[in-house]
Structure 1
Amino acid sequence: MNKFLKFCILTVLFLSSIVVNSCKSEDEAIPDFPEGSVESINVWVQDNMKRYYYWEDQMPSKPDYHLPVKKFFASLLSQNDRFSSIVNTEDSSTYLRTVRNMYGFDYAVIQLANGQITAVIKLVLQDSPAQNAGLRRGMIMKKINGSLINASNAESLLNSIPDNTTLDLTVGDWEAGNIINEQEIRVYYGFSLDQPILSKIFDQNGKKTGYLYIYDFPDGLSQSLNQKFAQFKANGVKDLVIDLRYNYGGSVASAAALCSMIPSGITANSPFITYKGNKNGGEVKKTFSEQIAYDATALSFSALHANTLELNRVFILTSRNTASASEIVINNLKPYIQVIQVGDTTLGKDMAGFAISDDRKPKKISWQLHPVIYKVYNANGQGEYSNGISPQIPMNEYISLPLAQLGEANESLLQAVLNKIYSKSAHQENSNNNVKILTESERPFLIPRLK
């Protein structure tokens, strides 16, 4: 599966896709529309939403079946729903188009203490069009397609990006409040390859700290996690920093695999997560072992737990881009370990779901539903973080420019944690309120309301 599609789907929960045929109840007065018509597709959409949608009791009783499919789907959604989506697998234009999944980078437009407006490249994916064009984290963007970026046009420039297949950028380096080494870079639309886990070990006076940057949680991640934790354990790592600041989530099974390798005192049968759905879905509880097993490619709990670090605390770096399975990691570790969160409040996706497709042979409907199906809770029944999970140590990663590379000891968020681990001296724990984020290129999952 390519990265473009991964950005468009919701968290994979139990299956990568499921077979669901129309299940029209006999007491519903729904017209019998011709097969293949827009109206018949909309009936299929409605039937599946009634069965699985978390807010199915808020769906309209008499929707307009004559609407285009995407608008019909939007008309069924609760006002509380920010995350459900629908795509036509035969029409790429129906997929979410963002700077990250089109070009492989993210940026933020910020206002400094002196009022200066600047656009900072905060993330460049490996083996992406952006990296291949020469972009790197910490660069400053001065212009997009010839337009000088300022506070008044930052949002409109961002909104125009999905309409292009190339981006002409004027970029440079930050030095003492000035942009130097300006250059013109053209980035072409394209795909980015799977992102590897970045790991490092920091050692001060024999006290070792492991660092993991995890970009997302695809199925199959447990093998890489196991290798990293085996290295940490062999090197005597006693503290752990997990960087999830740009992680939108993915497989809950992979998130559970990560969680199984950190705290002391858990077993295969320790409760990991509770899913609460509508009247059809009910409540489902899963242990660590059971949740990991939903990924058929995953290592077993016992294999993973053999490399557990058995820690009493963990540091997790977050931002507004930390979402879904990443938030599950934060929330669902809390019953078992002290979680010290550093950075910004997370997105607030306390929901999970799976893709719903028609796999009749031959397939008659190419649309694929990604509805919210469950609310998620930890072993203590704690959840309900739709406003995000707030950090114990709030910090703005833009307090110091240029941005250091992820995993470098002088990177602002990581530096704050390392200072806390290695020293009792004062360190930066409070965000610099004089640096304001005006807009960011990536706003994951937020679904616009169709009027």
Structure 2
Amino acid sequence: MLNYFKTGVILSLFLLSSCVKEDDLYLSDTVEPDPDAGVQVQDFMWKAMNFWYFWQADVENLADNRFPNTTQGTAAYTEFLASEDDPGKFFENKLQFNEDRFSFYSDDYVELTQSLSGISKSNGMEFGLVRIPNSNDIIGYVRYIIPNSDAATKPIHRGDLFTGVNGTTLTESNYRGLLFGNSDTYTLNMATIVDNTPVPNGEEITLTKQKDLQENPVFLDKIIETNGKKIGYLVYNSFTNEFDEQLNDAFGRFKTGGVTDLVLDMRYNPGGSVNTARLLSSMIYGTNTKDVFLKARYNDKYQKILEDKKTDLHDYFADKTGKGTAINTLKLSKIYVLTTQGSASASELVINGLEPYMDVVQIGEKTRGKNEFSVTMVDDRENNYLYSPKRVGKIKSNNRWAIQPLLGRNENADGFSDYTAGLQPDIPLKEDLSNLGDLGDLNEPLLAKAIQQITGTVSAKMDFTVALPMETITSSKLQTPMGDTMYVTDLPVIR
């Protein structure tokens, strides 16, 4: 079972390869622990964090001179590593900067890295959890159902509500165990809104998680023709690079269909691949490979190495996918983006990366506020602890632990990256628990608001009053190893 820790949203960096030399990696002599002390996991964690961690200079325990490579240093280092029997607690209590909300660890790198590919054990119901006002009780609401899942075979749909699991009312203290515990099967106790209050209605739906369910993040794409406009509408639910071709195909349909405007729905998109964010932005704005999409900034140690070697830290808009397919670009000057507090990481990166080049109209809620990226690290010292699927056989077989420490921040072409408080919407509009609407339906409130802005036409039938505004405390995606992630496929090369 995966046993991971995270204090919030994760912006993760999944590295496929690295060309960093061992001589460049360690700036000081490397101390080794007593080999019989049983602290292999903690040793890997410290060495990886000492070089790569964004806040390395701010954590006294990670200082380069903290443990000199001497007999006394070895003893002190071994004692330090053994100060926490639980590697997770060691990472949390000894290595993590107190302002770091998002680094985390896992005791199973296989499950973690599968999650980054959109593969998980899931029943296919994606949902959010909301606190009932003036109560400790929790209500769940269905955001969408993943096709070809167990939930897709059951009578449950977007907007359905549940207040209990297995006959137990959901509360702040029990929802984790009931919904995210070890049981693969649970029964939802459904509810209905009565007088603006969720009331159990006696209906029950039983769902079972299936292993290795992979979600296609291109959930819905359609062209809406109204008032002389051809509006492309895309529901995009994660930046999973295995589906870049499908994403490009969707934009091919938009391009062939003569789309003049675009509504990008990333309400439930927690992040993913930095490269996919770059490709998506290129599909929206353009394919000039001289235009800067982002600039990465690392910790002082790694930043100095890169700058001394005159490494280009910029990432540019793309004209081809990773498989060499030409990007289908709409070359727009304006885009409408739908967001909630669940929009994070790579979702925010797209908004921030496009801002210098086009008018980005954000509709909905403030985003999560995750502007750092992280890296998947495993006990593969020859590869500087960077996870690579090509080197799985090189990972120490008796250590399945992984860490996901924050590595740096991405700035846009204007040098802006300060959105830890979230990106504020231009047009605030919360989702309504009593009226979620169907995704893609022209009367769904947030889509309707975007269409209204595009066409300039106000429908007398449309009322944007929010009867039951939601403050979502967590979601099914936030409780997975992937969480709110953003990852890239390479680091700047040091030769």
Q: Which bin holds the TM-score, normalised by the shorter protein?
A: 0.7 to 0.9
Q: Which runs of 5+ in 2 are unaligned?
A: 67-76, 308-312, 383-392, 486-495
Shift of 1:168: 1.4
Cα separation, 2, equivalents of 1:110 and 1:10: 22
Q: Equivalent residues in 2 for 1:289-300 (5 A)?
A: 289=318, 297-299=322-324
Cα separation, 1, equivalents of 2:426 and 2:122: 34
**Residues 209 and 239, structure 1, Cα contact 8 Å, conserved in 2:** yes
1:65 aligned partner, one-letter code: L
**Residues 110 and 435, structure 1, Cα contact 8 Å, conserved in 2:** no
Q: Give 3-state SS (helix, strand or coil) of 2:301's partner.
A: coil
* TM-score under structure 1 length normalisation: 0.81
* Residues 1:92 and 1:340: Cα distance change in structure 2 (over 3 Å): closer
Q: 1:161 aligns with which of 179, 189, 209?
A: 179
Shift of 1:155: 4.8
Q: Give 3-state SS (helix, strand or coil) of 1:261's partner.
A: helix
Q: 1:73 aligns with which of 88, 91, 101?
A: 91
Q: Equivalent residues in 2 for 1:203-282 (5 A)?
A: 203-263=225-285, 267-282=288-303
Cα separation, 2, equivalents of 1:337 and 1:203: 23
Cα separation, 2, equivalents of 1:268 and 1:236: 24
Cα separation, 2, equivalents of 1:34 and 1:82: 33
- In structure 1, the partner of 2:332 is 311
Q: 1:383 aligns with which of 417, 420, 427?
A: 417
Shift of 1:434: 5.9
Greater CA drift, 343-352 or 85-94: 85-94
Post-superposition CA distance 1:31-87 (Å, at most 9, x none): 63216x542321221111111110011223268311121111112011121111222
Shift of 1:420: 1.7
Cα separation, 2, equivalents of 1:435 and 1:135: 22
Post-superposition CA distance 1:371-411 (Å, at most 9, x none): 1101111011011111111111111111642x222222121
Cα separation, 2, equivalents of 1:112 and 1:12: 33
- In structure 1, the partner of 2:454 is 421
Q: Give 3-state SS (helix, strand or coil) of 1:418's partner.
A: helix
Q: Give 3-state SS (helix, strand or coil) of 1:260's partner.
A: helix
* Residues 1:188 and 1:423: Cα distance change in structure 2 (over 3 Å): same
Shift of 1:127: 2.7
1:131 aligned partner, one-letter code: A
* Residues 1:384 and 1:431: Cα distance change in structure 2 (over 3 Å): farther
- In structure 2, the partner of 1:363 is 395
* Residues 1:11 and 1:199: Cα distance change in structure 2 (over 3 Å): same
**Residues 378 and 395, structure 2, Cα contact 8 Å, conserved in 1:** no
Q: Is residue 89 from structure 1 mapped to residue 111 from structure 2 by the alignment?
A: no
2:335 aligned partner, one-letter code: V
Cα separation, 2, equivalents of 1:335 and 1:387: 20
**Residues 199 and 228, structure 1, Cα contact 8 Å, conserved in 2:** yes
Q: 2:158 aligns with which of 132, 137, 143?
A: 137
2:395 aligned partner, one-letter code: K
* TM-score under structure 2 length normalisation: 0.75
* Residues 1:440 and 1:25: Cα distance change in structure 2 (over 3 Å): closer
Q: Equivalent residues in 2 for 1:92-131 (5 A)?
A: 102-104=122-124, 105-109=126-130, 111=132, 118-131=139-152
**Residues 345 and 390, structure 1, Cα contact 8 Å, conserved in 2:** yes
Shift of 1:175: 7.7
Q: Which runs of 5+ in 1 are unaligned?
A: none
**Residues 163 and 200, structure 2, Cα contact 8 Å, conserved in 1:** no
2:188 aligned partner, one-letter code: L
Cα separation, 1, equivalents of 2:410 and 2:367: 15
1:243 aligned partner, one-letter code: D
**Residues 217 and 243, structure 2, Cα contact 8 Å, conserved in 1:** no
- In structure 2, the partner of 1:47 is 47
Q: Equivalent residues in 2 for 1:327-366 (5 A)?
A: 327-359=348-380, 363-364=395-396, 365-366=399-400
Shift of 1:131: 2.9
**Residues 143 and 171, structure 1, Cα contact 8 Å, conserved in 2:** yes
* Residues 1:414 and 1:363: Cα distance change in structure 2 (over 3 Å): same
Shift of 1:424: 4.2
Q: Is residue 397 from structure 1 mapped to residue 416 from structure 2 by the alignment?
A: no
1:249 aligned partner, one-letter code: G
Percentage identity across paired residues of the two chains: 29
* Residues 1:314 and 1:141: Cα distance change in structure 2 (over 3 Å): same
Which has the higher relative contact order, 1 or 2, with Cα contacts under 8 A spaced 6 or more apart? 2
Shift of 1:91: 8.4
Aligned residues: 421
Post-superposition CA distance 1:306-354 (Å, at most 9, x none): x321211101111111111111001000011100011111111101122
Q: Is residue 33 from structure 1 mapped to residue 34 from structure 2 by the alignment?
A: yes
**Residues 294 and 353, structure 2, Cα contact 8 Å, conserved in 1:** yes
1:32 aligned partner, one-letter code: P
